[in-house]
Amino acid sequence: MPAKTRLLIADDHPLIRSGMRALLERSGDFEIVAEASDGYEAIEMALTHKPGVILLDVGMPRLSGIDAAQTLSEKLPATKIIMVSMHSDEGYVLRALKAGARGYLLKASPEADVLAAVRAVAAGNAYFSPSITRLLMEEYVTEVRRRGVEDSYDLLGLREKEVMNLLVSGKSNKEIAEMLHVSVSTVETHRNNILQKLHLHNLAELILYAVRKGLIN
């Protein structure tokens, strides 16, 4: 029997924490190792228990979820973070990604989406609430049509698309190099070329671009 994924739930509303705990424990796949009610407590509990996945509310007192995520990404790089928020606009999603989050879940999400998010991120994938993905895809298509330009994704070569898909799935440059049997410097060159062709600046923006394109959930 596979080991359960160890989770930390951080939210300043006790009812939300208890609801998430009940849902996740009922599935049988997860073990809740700690709860936190603000950003500082989330960091303290995470450093103590070292969970596999953290569900982190964006708007918590004392220290916001996004600021906590930044610290947690640096101190516990193996721990995966899902931001939980009421906000669906692109700015919040991008800030979460830049802070190191691998998932973004809306508080209005159905139970099935919560379970899907934790399972996906625990497996090393990215996850975004379907409504966010649809919104970003619609905005992207509208912008491309407004500008009257070709899809920038088509500017990428086959190898660049392959590298991009591996990057947004959470693979490091070293892991990609080993998978593709090339040097790390070659992967870095592909990564730089991808960002330049797509007019992006970092991995967070690349992940968001992939969501808008419908390349990842």
Give pTM, 2 decimals.
Answer: 0.79
Pinpoint the residues of the chain covered by CATH 3.40.50.2300.
5-133
Res. 144 pLDDT band, cuts 50 70 90: low
Instruction: Evaluate if residue 151 carries a pLDDT over 80.
Output: no
Closest CA to 107 of 124, 127, 87, 79: 87
Residue range 150-213 forms a domain whose CATH class is: mainly alpha
Number of other residues whose CB lies within 10 A of the CB of residue 157: 12
Q: What is the CATH superfamily name and number for domain 5-133?
A: Response regulator (3.40.50.2300)
Say if residues 42 and 62 touch (Cβ distance below 8 Å). no
pLDDT, residue 88, reads 80
- Specify whether the backbone of 106 is left (phi greater than 0), alpha (psi in -120 to 50) or beta: beta
> 48-82, pLDDT tens digit by residue?
999 999 999 998 988 999 999 999 999 999 999 99
Which CA distances in Å does 23 have to 6, 9, 115?
A: 14, 12, 8
Res. 149 pLDDT band, cuts 50 70 90: low
Token output for 208: 């968001």
Pinpoint the residues of the chain covered by CATH 1.10.10.10.
150-213
Instruction: Evaluate if residue 10 carries a pLDDT over 60.
Output: yes
pLDDT, residue 214, reads 78
> 34-49, pLDDT tens digit by residue?
999 999 999 999 999 9
Res. 147 pLDDT band, cuts 50 70 90: low
The larger pLDDT score, comparing residue 186 to residue 90, is at 186
pLDDT, residue 25, reads 92
The larger pLDDT score, comparing residue 25 to residue 170, is at 25
pLDDT, residue 91, reads 83
Instruction: Evaluate if residue 143 carries a pLDDT over 70.
Output: no
Contact partners, residue 166, CB within 8 Å, separation at least 6? 175, 176, 179, 180
Instruction: Evaluate if residue 170 carries a pLDDT over 80.
Output: yes
Give the integer Cα–Cα distance in Å for 143 and 182.
Answer: 36
Give the chain's mean pLDDT.
89
Contact partners, residue 96, CB within 8 Å, separation at least 6? 58, 66, 69, 83, 85, 104
> 192-211, pLDDT tens digit by residue?
999 998 888 889 889 988 88
